[in-house]
Chains A and B, each alone.
Chain A
Amino acid sequence: MDQAKNSAYVSMQGVGHQYDPQAPLVVKDIDLDIHRHEFVAVVGPSGCGKSTLLRMVSGLLIPSQGEVSVFNRPVTEPRDDVGIVFQKANLLPWLTVRKNVLFPLKHKYGSYSASDEKRANELLEMAGLTQFADKMPDELSGGMQQRVGIVRALLLNPDILLMDEPFSALDALTREQIGFDLLKIWREHPKTVLFITHSISEAVLLSDRILVMSKRPGTVLDLIEVDLPRPRSSKTINSPRYAELTDLIRGYIYEPDVPA
């Protein structure tokens, strides 16, 4: 293994956060090192501060305890090398699909060039959206809208892709398909991915490692290595190791609620 892959790229040390000084901590004592181009999923019960964690990596939120750093530099403001995909696609309903993809450039710099447009077209093609480029978002299905959301996050070619429960609004079948599509994109354009999800099976199917968080205040319960071979497909679900891993995580999430 090469050096870059082993060193921590995104690093959280003793990270905790409270939204105001009187409020209780949302997350506490989080230590996590993410390697470059690693796919890390975060699972945990609702309200455990998964999204807070993601916002701290993006620089939208500065932790009240500890430090988040990227490439050995502390994160103090929103970063240019971060792309965010939200729970809902959040496309602007007055722009075509292509213009939505180009929106980050238009919004940050006020304009974009012909080569930017070419890049947008290439990304759309990769996501199988070429024929929808000139359609309005409401003409697309939920799954396709979220694909556009992912493509938009890739426009500025970020090194880190932050995904906040990106598929939770989709139906089960679409969800599985778009998950494999994401893996394909990730293989072709390697990124460091932090993937927040409610779905244990989704986490196991997609990621290299899984951070399991406790109830609020969210702490690290376990960091699980997903040693399933890649590339993964719907066949992965049939392997015994997949079942073991999902059972292990399910144990963490559900055990405390089961009466003795």
Chain B
Amino acid sequence: MNQTSQPKRWLAQQANRFAPVLFFIGLVLLWELVCRIAKVPNYILPSPSAIIAAFFNVDFSRWMIHLWATLRVALMGFVLSILIAIPLSIGMMRSQLMNRILYPALIVIQSTPVVAVAPLIIVLLGTEDPSRVLITCLITFFPLVVSTTTGMLETPPEMIELSQSLRAPRYRETWQIRIPYAIPHIFSGLRVSITLAIIGAVVAEFVAAEEGLGYFIQFSTSFFKIPQAFAGLIFLSIISLLLFKSVQWIQAWLFPWSLPKKRT
């Protein structure tokens, strides 16, 4: 390696490494530029600088109140759907009859647009948390059922034969072989579900709520506070991204063996 090419190489490596960030920054700059040059009014498309200003115009405590309302519903719905989906998948894996009965029902639930059902759920369960949690749960649980079931069925058949040849009880086949084998699949389901949980909470807030980031966005829009609505939207996206990342971190922390291997 000759010495003059060293800094150039380093620069190229860094550019390559930060390419996604650079692309993102470029996009924001372009947005700002278009807004300024074309003099787009704030109530049509606010510039990034206007959005940032709008974000800091709102009290931090108000942000926290809205954030907590959305996060609470999203996480409760998410946890509830884990508690339903995983036992359901185990049941469907172990019992042909249960599979035959429940699978069509699950397809029907999944095919029904939850956004359209949300107002009916509010009528049924009221305007408090339970209906919002149920809406979130309905959106999130299907990917979890699919991924958990797929994972458990993809257990190597030889491992099942090993279990049978030992005449081990079936619950141990489920707990010691099938569920661990499903962990990578379960986590890809969880990653999809956690972002859907935020969507579910926002849908519920659009229908009936007095607080929450979804409510905040809708409320800001209806008063033509477009920069503020954008600020709420971006805040929501960042939270959603962080939740998605948290699921990955939890997987790496609890089940490091389940991550795809880095090949050198």
Contacts and interface: CB of A to CB of B under 8 A. Distances in A.
Interface of A: 55, 58-60, 77-80, 82, 84, 86-88, 90, 92-94, 103-104, 106-108, 110, 136, 138
B168 A108 contact: yes
B59 interface: no
A77 B258 CA distance: 34
A75 to B, nearest CB: 12
B167 interface: yes
Contacts, number: 56
A interface: dominant SS: loop
Contacts of A103: 176
Nearest to A77: B167
Interface stretch (B89-97, B156-164, B211-219): B156-164
A88 B156 contact: yes
24 contacts: A60-B165, A77-B167, A78-B164, A78-B167, A82-B165, A84-B161, A84-B162, A88-B156, A88-B158, A90-B156, A90-B159, A90-B162, A92-B159, A92-B177, A92-B180, A94-B255, A94-B257, A104-B162, A106-B176, A107-B163, A107-B166, A107-B177, A108-B168, A110-B172
Interface residues of B, number: 21
Contacts of B255: 94
Contacts of A84: 161-162, 165
Contact of A90 (B158, B167, B173): B158
Contacts of A86: 158, 161-162
Interface of B: 156, 158-159, 161-168, 172-173, 176-177, 180, 183, 255, 257-258, 261
B interface: dominant SS: helix
B180 A108 contact: no
A88 B159 CA distance: 10
A58 B183 CA distance: 30
A142 to B, nearest CB: 14
B166 A78 contact: yes
Contact of B257 (A55, A90, A93): A93
A227 to B, nearest CB: 33
A86 to B, nearest CB: 4
Nearest to A78: B165
Contacts of A88: 156, 158
A103 B168 CA distance: 11
Given A88-B158, A92-B180, A94-B180, A108 B258 contact: no
A90 B165 CA distance: 14
A244 B161 CA distance: 38
A241 B163 CA distance: 41
A136 B158 CA distance: 20
Which 8 A-B residue pairs are closest in the complex by CB-CB distance? A86-B158, A108-B166, A78-B165, A107-B168, A90-B158, A94-B257, A93-B257, A108-B168
B257 A60 contact: no
Contacts of A136: 257
Contacts of B158: 86-88, 90
A93 to B, nearest CB: 5
B165 A59 contact: yes
Given A88-B156, A90-B156, A107-B162, 18 more contacts: A60-B165, A78-B164, A78-B165, A78-B167, A82-B165, A84-B161, A86-B158, A86-B161, A86-B162, A90-B158, A94-B258, A106-B176, A107-B166, A107-B176, A107-B177, A108-B167, A108-B168, A110-B172
